[in-house]
Chains A and B, each alone.
Chain A
């Protein structure tokens, strides 16, 4: 296998932000074998048909929904990155467009970069939890809580961030209908549905010998100003729940990025 750490994009990452993940191979469910081979070699990676072995792999997810991996194996080690390639480019420069994504992925332990349209249909909170707990077992209530926090942060980024749908304020069926309609309309807008959600997860040793996971979730929406929330409506509990569960919570970039820390 070609070792991606000594050449190309991962080498740049080694020198800049610090390489954590040295990708060895590339999977692309639904992509023809010859195209995968060309793409992988252009990125100095080995084309891989199915997850195997210890070396980290990156998975390309097609945006048309045809290749969304239902298989749990594609969300577990050694897969450490899930990337939806940009669709507005020809096949020839897909590798050039993917290289920065892979370089960014190399600086994390887990990395995910998807359009809103694709991410909306996946249970990303549960997928991220599975990927995390495969690296550090989480059990019982803590497992449930971390899944909820991840799910809430992803949902906020997609629904309120990228799609700009306002939360349900009044407790009424009309407000639920409005939420439903807005969500459908915005998902049908190719510009909003094409906005990206980027998740990075890093696991580090904490001072007390335990480990801590730092998860950052970024969106491309208008952001928001954190402030006191009214708890009387149907929406607005998500961030409070995250704050209760996480051991650290920071809102950055005008509300477009949330950073959560979980002691493991």
Chain B
């Protein structure tokens, strides 16, 4: 998995690309650190270029959400499609994290 962060006026948009699995623990740690450091209140994870996510990837997204909560920031998942959307649905993540199309 790779990611890029775009800081806009109202929100930081983090675009994830590729496959997010248990093996991406180091990148997720770095990503959570970067989301905490920028000043914006709204942190949007753009999943539209993410091709595959596993249960550990979902777990790491929930950790990111929790850390943003602690930092009093909003955390939003956006644009999930295909397998990623399917897994988010099956794991009922919408109950915990706001999901936008």
On whether A172 and B83 interact (CB within 8 A), knowing A155-B22, A180-B29, the answer reads no
Q: A171-B62, A241-B90 are in contact. Are A151 and B67 (CB under 8 A)?
A: no
- Among candidates B19, B55, B60, residue contacting A238 with C-beta atoms closer than 8 Å: B55
What are the residues of chain A within 8 A of B28 when measuring CB–CB?
Answer: 176
| Cβ-defined contact, A151 with B25, below 8 A | no
Tell me how far the C-beta of A137 lies from the nearest C-beta in chain B, rounded to whole angstroms: 17
Cβ-closest chain B residue relative to A180: B25
Quick check: is B56 within 8 A (CB to CB) of the other chain? yes
Pairs A–B under 8 Å by Cβ, sample size 15: A144-B83, A144-B86, A145-B86, A148-B52, A148-B54, A148-B87, A151-B21, A159-B22, A168-B56, A172-B63, A173-B67, A176-B25, A183-B22, A234-B60, A236-B55
**CB contact list, A217-264 vs B, under 8 A:** 233-238, 241, 244
- A177 lies within 8 A of B87 (CB): no
Residues of A near B55 (CB, < 8 A) are: 152, 235-238, 241
Residues of A within 8 Å of B29, CB to CB, are: 173, 176-177, 180
Whether A123 is near chain B, meaning CB under 8 Å from some CB there, is: yes
In the bound complex, residues from chain A placing their C-beta under 8 Å from that of B63 are 168, 171-173, 175-176, 234
Would B56 and A238 count as touching, CB distance under 8 A? Answer: yes
Q: How far is the CB of B28 from chain A (nearest CB, A)?
A: 6
A84 at the interface (CB under 8 A from B): no
Q: Is B66 an interface residue (CB 8 A)?
A: yes
When A144-B83, A152-B54 are in contact, do A173 and B32 touch as well, CB less than 8 Å? yes
CA distance A262 to B62 in the complex (A): 29
Question: Which residues from B are CB-within-8-Å of A238?
Answer: 54-56
The count of residues in chain B whose C-beta lies closer than 8 Å to any C-beta of chain A is 27
Question: How many residues of A sit at the interface, in one of the four size bands?
Answer: 20 to 34
Which of chain B's residues has its CB closest to A181's CB?
Answer: B25
Q: Is A179 an interface residue (CB 8 A)?
A: yes
CA distance A234 to B87 in the complex (A): 15
Which of chain A's residues have a CB closer than 8 A to the CB of B21?
A: 151, 155
Give the Cβ gap from B57 to chain A, nearest Cβ, in Å. 10
Nearest CB to that of A140 among chain B residues?
B82
- Minimum CB–CB distance from B68 to chain A (whole Å) comes to 11
* Interface SS of B by simple majority: helix
Indicate if B58 sits at the interface (CB-CB under 8 A): yes
| Inter-chain contacts of B58 with A (CB < 8 A) | 237
Considering the complex, give the chain B residue whose CB is closest to the CB of A160.
B22
**Per-position 1/0 for A28-56, Cβ under 8 A of B:** 00000000000000000000000000000
Interface string of B17-52 (1 = CB under 8 A from A): 001011101101100100000000000000000001
Assess the B86–A234 pair: CB atoms within 8 A: no
A104 at the interface (CB under 8 A from B): no
A168 contacts across to B, CB distance below 8 A: 56, 59-60, 63
A159 to B56, CA, bound (A): 11
Q: Mark A122-160, 1 if CB is under 8 A from B, else 0.
A: 010010000000000000010011011001100100010
CA distance A175 to B59 in the complex (A): 11
Residue pair A172, B54 in contact (C-beta under 8 Å): no
The reply to whether B56 and A235 contact each other, CB–CB distance below 8 Å, is: yes
In A160-217, which residues have CB < 8 Å from any B CB?
A: 167-168, 171-173, 175-177, 179-180, 183
| A179 nearest CB neighbor, chain B only | B25
Give the distance in Å from the alpha carbon of A235 to the alpha carbon of B90 in the complex. 15
